[in-house]
Amino acid sequence: MKRRTFNKAIAKGIATAGLAAFLSTTSWAADTIKIGAVWPKTGPLAGGATVTQGPNIEMWVKQVNARGGLKLKDGQKMIELIEYDDKTNPGEHIKAVQRLATQDKVDFIIAPYGTGFNIAAAPIYAKYGYPQIAVSAISDKIEELTARYPNLFFTLGTTTAFVEGVRDILVDMRDAGTIGNKVAMINVADAFGIELADAARPIFAKAGLEIVYDKSYPLGTPDLSPVMKGAKASNPDAFVAWSYPPDTFGLTEQAVIENLDVKAFYTAVATCFPAYGGKFGSKVNNNLGAGGVNPDTPEMKAYFKAHKELTGKDADFWASANTYVSLQILEQAIEGVGASDKAAVSQYIKDNTFKTIMGDIKFENQFSNRFWTVGQWQDGVFRGVKSVNVDGAASVRAKSGWN
């Protein structure tokens, strides 16, 4: 567990004279607002969370505290961050949330990392009334879940929208004569991968795309060579993997080893990570993956710059920005209410539009219908190529080998 206000980091790296004076005269214990965060620092999902979740929480807390804290009716309050590692275990996550609520008595809790964790933990967040802005989660059960949990919000999109984004790209490439109809499809066997694969089968079939290889694998599988060998043996025109971070790296490595010759190669979460491009270099040029951004807007340029300066790490090209947006929304809602009133903050999120680095965000029935679905590595940058209600998509390119 970590309990932080980031005062040392602020004083060393980003403090101004005014902030230094503020720090010297403020009673931190009396003037803090407690915010909890539970995310996988260890376990199979740690690789993704330490890129997407942790650094953006750190960046946001530093920025808010550098501004003097959250502006409430009874004065500005610095953020005291209390963190726990759920070890990629839903049971551990739920226990940690209960501890934050009953022992640490935090005012707010940042939503979990991952689709399965957001769904599994929704009842405990609802039990204690915490607004849950589920940023790293996609589902076709959003309507059902938000009806059940009035404090639950979704920002990253629906399963069907993500599948349709991939389908549209494959159909366009097929109609242009770039690829044929045969698709090798695999998925990680957890809520994220299973739901995407289940949605993809009828959607691909209706579009005339033939799934010639269909295989799932357990989360944390260390050896993915049999899966890739099977995919190659099916002689596909396109490869689609509904994958999580460790397997996205592993599958790509095996595709290079096996020299999988497809013009459309798609892996899901972590394809957008700078480390993915760093590990494979030019080999990933024109690889497709989940999410994306328009990196050329002034807001995104400023975000990437601040992220690097404040955390020492590069943001990914998809859910990093979405995670930060969810924190901007939480901040604006808390300040809009002016108090640590969880129910009022949830209602404020439902009723208002929020200014973010991705433009204006408005929830309809607790869902923000504005997100990227597919991105592609193009000349060293992962750019959004398909979206729902987001401008700035780049044109899709065909892949031409691994070297």
pLDDT tens digit sequence for 89-137: 999 999 999 999 999 999 999 999 998 999 999 999 999 999 999 999 9
* pLDDT score of 11 more than 80: no
In contact, 274 and 258? CB cutoff 8 Å = no
HEC per residue, 62-127 = HHHHHCCCEEECCEEEEEEEEEEECCCCHHHHHHHHHHHHHHHCCCEEECCECHHHHHHHHHHHHH
Cα-based angle 389, 391, 392 (whole degrees, multiple of 5)? 150
* pLDDT score of 312 more than 50: yes
- The CATH topology of domain 2-158+296-372 is Rossmann fold (3.40.50)
* Rounded Cα gap, residues 392 and 129, in angstroms: 37
Q: Do domains 2-158+296-372 and 159-293+373-388 have the same CATH topology?
A: yes
- The pLDDT, as a whole number, for residue 233 is 98
* Rounded Cα gap, residues 225 and 390, in angstroms: 37
pLDDT band of residue 355 (cuts 50, 70, 90) is: very high
* Rounded Cα gap, residues 139 and 192, in angstroms: 8
Domain at 159-293+373-388: CATH code: 3.40.50.2300
* pLDDT score of 17 more than 50: no
* Rounded Cα gap, residues 205 and 363, in angstroms: 32
- The pLDDT, as a whole number, for residue 30 is 52
pLDDT band of residue 1 (cuts 50, 70, 90) is: low
Contacting residues for 30 by C-beta, under 8 A, at least 6 apart = none
Sign of the torsion formed by the C-alpha atoms of 2, 249, 159 and 43: negative
pLDDT band of residue 8 (cuts 50, 70, 90) is: very low
Residue 2 is given by DSSP the state: E
- The pLDDT, as a whole number, for residue 2 is 52
Residue 136 is given by DSSP the state: B
Mean pLDDT of the chain: 92
pLDDT for 226-270, tens place per residue? 999 999 999 999 999 999 988 999 999 999 999 999 999 999 999
* pLDDT score of 16 more than 60: no
In contact, 104 and 119? CB cutoff 8 Å = no
* pLDDT score of 319 more than 80: yes
pLDDT band of residue 220 (cuts 50, 70, 90) is: confident
- The pLDDT, as a whole number, for residue 3 is 55
* pLDDT score of 304 more than 60: yes
HSE of 347, CA atoms in CB hemisphere, 13 A: 7
Domain map of the chain by residue range?
A: 2-158+296-372, 159-293+373-388
Q: Check residues 159 and 7 and name the one with the higher pLDDT.
A: 159
